[in-house]
Amino acid sequence: MFDAQDDCRTNPSAAPTFVDVIEQRLNRRQFLQGSAFALFAATIPSFSSKSAAPANTVQQGQALGFTEISSAISTQSRVAAGYKEQVLLRWGDALFPDAPPFDLQAQTAQSQQRQFGYNNDYIAYMPLEGSTRGLLCVNHEYTCPHLMFKGVTRKNAQAKMTPALTHIEMAAVGLSVVEIALMDDVWQVVKNSRYNRRFDALETIYAVSGAAAGHKRLQTPSDPSGKRIVGMIGNCAGGVTPWGTVLTCEENFSYYFTGANPLEQENNERYGVLQDEERYTWWATADARFDLAKEPNAPNRYGWVVEIDPYNPQSVPVKRTSLGRFKHECATCIVSSDGRVVVYSGDDQAFEFIYKYVSNGRFDPKNPKANTALLDDGILYAAQFKDDGTVTWLPLVYGKNGLTPENRFYSQADVCIEARRAASLLGATPMDRPEDIAISPVTGKVYVALTKNPKRLTVTNAANPRRLNLHGHIIEIIPNAGDHASIRDRWDIFLSAGNPNNTLEGARYHSDVSQQGWFSCPDNVSFDSLGRLWIGTDGAEKASSMSESIYACETEGGKRALTKRFYAAPIGAETTGPCFTPDGKTLFVSVQHPAEKSKSLEDVQTRWPDFDPKLTPRPAVVALRKKDGGVIGG
């Protein structure tokens, strides 16, 4: 979303960017002589299907046996032959027995709080009865008012968005918890479930814990405690903790504020607050929380990882500030070899960083309540990639390595509130829009999607042909001795996206990748239980004139990085949040912002998924299943 802002640079760091690191690594290796492209290619492992797999390769499960679909842009969504698509949850669908049905002409904030939210993104399936009954936890990232309300266009929203309409927007974002059950091979919403909940930006109260809880920079006239925040915004990707809670991440929080706070000007500029022309400036008119003249510290209250317990309907969501404040794309969790909990996260903006948090305490599977404190007491690290193939994790700890009063850090709270500036000061590596992060359940390797960075305009050596990274890439991090809490790991490029038939793009996949199998702009990534990587795209429609899609590939062996297109979204939409049931027989996918580039409701590119001329295009979660009931991808 918001490509214009995500691709802009608010990071003034002079540290070597990832492209510089790759370039230096090339120069060290000197595998090939000759052209710049040949030198670039030397960094990529041989992906030939004829080459032998390494002796230590972990044999993965079932091969990807589906037939690819075309890359054509369509008004329809499409899935591989032998599979079926069910539209499970659409914006406005009732989540409770007393919720009103969706009515485009009679929307209210109160009805929206009882309905499925807008622009669904991250999905977590939390089992109740294995793979046939569970809780679907779904983020709602942002709104498209020109597709929600009649008379509102992309150009006139500032004038047309009344407080009443704005409150509907605020109620439409956040997160939904919905019980679902598989009945006769069809997923059903259980509307009378005691677990169903809506978390929003309008009225939901969020507690605050960790290093910045109660700090004066989080305090406002409406909340002098700094521990009681109304709303969460920009919820993009997330993660699931080992103790069964969901982490939902606030990403693009910077679009919603007006006014100024001179005391936080540098901090706000570093996060892009007040800088984008396409801001939701009408939110401040409808709610004082977003007016810096009335709530000067308001932006510091957003940009956090929020923990939600879907199994406890009375639980209060908590913003975990020790995990750092930035534009979180995800919060991918794993338990290290010594029992500490590790949370990986990407900061989704051009030239920003990759982070991981390591708890000081150990995970105790016998004491779930005690485990939540693990997210308040630990060390936040930022990644520094080196040309020798190592990655060093730099600790963002107050009082060390320049994070001191001399550099305007007066506590660990300041470090967490200004995590970006702290990481820059330590020399973390600016990346090309770090987005989702997934960990292989088979090998333990970490895969990071870097969507793109067209703002990277210069390189110091012509050996790197991807000066303008229009298509993105995926990097692979190999934890030292399999320990995710280690501070020095290895890294390499898993693949570089783009058209492999255009040598100027420098794309690299398995050599057998088809014309339908290559892709652009990787965004969300997820693994199935067999260790196969599933990739969703965001930006391919613009960069490569192809549909945004879900792809799959193996990460080990003779078919490593042989990507195949499995599912395609309708025009204007993005594929996000791929999530499997434990048995691998259902793949849930969020189809976000269909027809987003349309001018208004009266002139839309598609009316997916209802195709009713009286209805608007609606974001929706789809459930994909094999017609014979088998495992997805087989």
* Secondary structure (DSSP) of 299-333: GGGSS-EEEE-TT-TTPPPEEEGGG--S-B---EE
**From CA 177, how far away is CA 190, in angstroms rounded?**
11
% of the chain exceeding 90 in pLDDT: 84
**From CA 92, how far away is CA 609, in angstroms rounded?**
13
Q: Cis (ω within 30 of 0) for the bond into 609?
A: yes
Tokens of 468: 């303008």
The residue behind tokens 């009515």 is: 103
Cβ neighbours of 620 (radius 10 Å): 23
Return mean pLDDT, the chain. 90
pLDDT confidence of residue 3:
55
Category of 151 on φ-ψ map: left (φ > 0), alpha (ψ -120 to 50) or beta:
left
pLDDT tens track for 418-432: 999 999 999 999 899
Task: Name the helix (H) or strand (E) containing 265.
Answer: helix 265-270
**From CA 320, how far away is CA 213, in angstroms rounded?**
9
The identity of residue 240, as a single letter, is V
pLDDT confidence of residue 17:
56
pLDDT tens track for 139-185: 999 999 999 999 999 999 999 999 999 999 999 999 999 999 999 99
DSSP state of 407: G
| Cβ-Cβ contacts under 8 Å for 53 (sequence gap 6 or more) | 556, 557, 558
Given a contact cutoff of 8 angstroms between Cβ atoms, the answer to whether 593 and 567 are in contact is: no
Question: Of 535, 593, 568, 590, which Cα lies nearest the Cα of 137?
Answer: 590
User: How large is the C-alpha radius of gyration of the chain?
Assistant: 23
| Cβ-Cβ contacts under 8 Å for 458 (sequence gap 6 or more) | 467
The identity of residue 54, as a single letter, is P
SS (HEC) of 271-305:
CCCCCCCCCCCHHHHHCHHHECCCCCCHHHHCCCE
% of the chain exceeding 70 in pLDDT: 89
The identity of residue 413, as a single letter, is A
Q: What is the DSSP string of 548-587?
A: -EEEEEESSGGGBT--EEEEEPPTT-EEEEEEE-TTS-EE
Which 3 state secondary structure label does DSSP give 499? coil
pLDDT confidence of residue 522:
96
Tell me the CATH number of domain 3-626, given options 3.30.420.40, 3.30.310.50, 3.60.90.10, 2.120.10.30.
Answer: 2.120.10.30
Given a contact cutoff of 8 angstroms between Cβ atoms, the answer to whether 553 and 562 are in contact is: yes
Angle 13-15-21 from CA coordinates, rounded to 5°: 140
Tokens of 122: 């991250």
pTM score of the predicted model: 0.92
Mean pLDDT of 266-289: 92
pLDDT confidence of residue 47:
24
